[in-house]
Amino acid sequence: MSPLLTLTGDGTFRAPTTEEAQRLDLPDDPHLAALLRLRALLGDDLEEQIATRLYLPSALGLDETDHLLPATLALLAETTGDLVSYGWRLGAGTGLAWQHARELRARVLDAARIAWLGYEGTVMATTLGPATLAGATFLQSGERTLADPGAVRDLPMLLAEGLVDHLTELRERVPGGHQHVLVREDAVAAIHQGRIPTPSGRRRYDPLPAPEIAVLWRSLYVALEDYGLDARDVTLGVGADIALLRAAREAGARRMAIAPRRLPSLSTPEGRALWEGIAEAADDGCAFEIVVDPRPGGNLAPELETMLETWRRLGHAETDAAGVTVIAHTGASHGLHSGRVDPSAQPEHSTLLDEAALEAMLRIAPTWAERVSA
């Protein structure tokens, strides 16, 4: 029987503190401790109709290099760079921060071999997408990678090659896992709409057209398909723009993540077009995953309620939402999406998911499974 609801996280997880590790009788190694806690939370389905998707954390927040951007840069094949005063720069030579990010990735993989021994469920890896990388990184000249069309075109190939190597290593360490990939394009809307500032701050880079973004995504999909992943094993964050939704479909996306908080109201022309595009894609067999903030004081219930209400107004029954996946997220990417936050900026420690957030999502899951059950 297919699950009514699947629960997972956004690829981040705040490592337990020393005090928390002692209280929970966890190892001193923070990577191993984090993976053991994730397995305890998401390693088993809650019940027959509520499934979970265990994920390999790309960011534990142990230091300034332990975040999603450097973790993704550490994947790029045949690419070097370093952390400089204005951000992560691609270029000749591997700096200490870049090398440390690679070492952190290796430590998490090694910890998975021990913490997830014998695991046979879904295992998800997370990466930033090529469009977001183009706006979040810099060239040797000090310009963003976004300024060099050739470098932008190279990003999905470099990312794909490194990601395939990463997945191969993950399969060796967790051989029983069914692999899934989450591609977070947190800043794609800001890049598509021309909201990324130049180094001077006096102007903004030209918008990146949706068809060009589709080409970047398609390159990534082709490489992952060659590796053996079906398009349904890849979740792509598509923002809240009908042009980006269409670009994702053109690229071959069959599973997309959307955040209710970002979606325009159905009462506006933009909202009507986007929601109808979502409904059309769903009717065509595309799956949508819902990004929500489950933390105490977050808006998990209102966000899902908004989704179901809009779904009903489009003529669908609540039961048509059965099978949805909910992705726990702190909401940190909403500012990137709108352009209020620079994608190259160092994120706050509080932007990472923690155990309380995942527990909050697990608690509310039975209620929402009941809502979408026949």
The tokens of 21 are what? 């590790």
At residue 55, the pLDDT reads 98
At residue 298, the pLDDT reads 66
What one-letter code names the amino acid at 246? R
Judge if pTM exceeds 0.85.
yes
pLDDT 10s per residue in the chain (374 long)?
A: 689 999 999 999 999 999 999 999 999 999 999 999 999 999 998 888 999 999 999 999 999 899 999 999 999 999 999 999 999 999 888 999 999 999 999 999 999 999 999 999 999 999 999 999 999 999 999 999 999 999 999 999 999 999 999 999 999 999 999 999 999 999 999 999 999 999 988 899 999 999 999 999 999 999 999 999 999 999 999 988 999 999 999 999 999 999 988 889 899 999 999 999 999 999 999 999 999 998 766 666 777 888 888 888 888 888 888 899 999 999 888 889 888 899 999 998 889 999 999 999 999 898 888 888 86
Helices 269-283, 242-251: crossing angle, 10 deg rounding: 20
At residue 297, the pLDDT reads 67
The CATH number given to whatever domain includes residue 60 is 3.20.20
Query: Is residue 361 within 8 Å of residue 7, measured between CB atoms?
Result: yes
How many structural domains does the chain have?
1
At residue 308, the pLDDT reads 85
At residue 303, the pLDDT reads 78
What is the Cα–Cα distance from 20 to 40, expressed in whole angstroms? 15
Domain assignment of residue 267, given as a range: 5-372
Please give the backbone phi and psi of residue 128, each rounded to the nearest 5 degrees, phi first.
-75, 150
At residue 299, the pLDDT reads 63
